[in-house]
Structure 1
Amino acid sequence: MADLTSGSGLKSAALLEQMRLHMETDAGKELTKKVGLVYQLNISPKKIGQNEEIYVVDLKKGEVTKGPYEGRPDVTFSFVDSDFLAVGTGKLNPQMAFLRGAMKIKGSITAAQKFTPDIFPKPSKL
Structure 2
Amino acid sequence: MASELKSAAILELLKQYLTTDEGQQLKKKINYVYQINLAPKKIGFDEVVYTIDLKKGEVTKAPYEGKPDVTLSLKDEDFVKLATGNLNPQMAFMRGTLKIRGSISAAQKFTPDLFPKVSKM
Give TM-score scaled by structure 2 length: 0.96
Partner of 2:18: 23
Paired-residue identity, %: 62
Is the alpha carbon distance of 1:124 and 1:8 closer, same or farther for their aligned partners in structure 2, counting shifts above 3 Å?
farther
Matching residue of 1:68 = 63
User: In structure 2, what residue type is equivalent to 1:82?
Assistant: E
Would you say 1:55 and 2:46 are equivalent positions? no
Backbone CA RMSD of aligned residues: 1.2
Distance in 2 between residues matched to 1:124 and 1:64, nearest whole Å: 21
Q: 2:94 corresponds to which residue?
A: 99
Task: Give, in whole Å, the separation in 1 of the partners of 2:119 and 2:54.
Answer: 21
Q: Is 1:87 aligned with 2:74? A: no
The total of aligned residue pairs comes to 120
Deviation at residue 31 of structure 1 after TM alignment: 0.5
Unaligned runs of 5+ in 1: 1-6
Gaps of 5+ in 2: none
Give 2:109's aligned residue.
114
For 1:125 and 1:62, how far apart are their aligned partners in 2? Answer: 25
Q: Distance in 2 between matches of 1:125 and 1:63?
A: 25
Runs ≥4 in structure 1, deviation > 6 angstroms? Answer: none
What TM-score comes out, normalization by structure 1 length?
A: 0.92
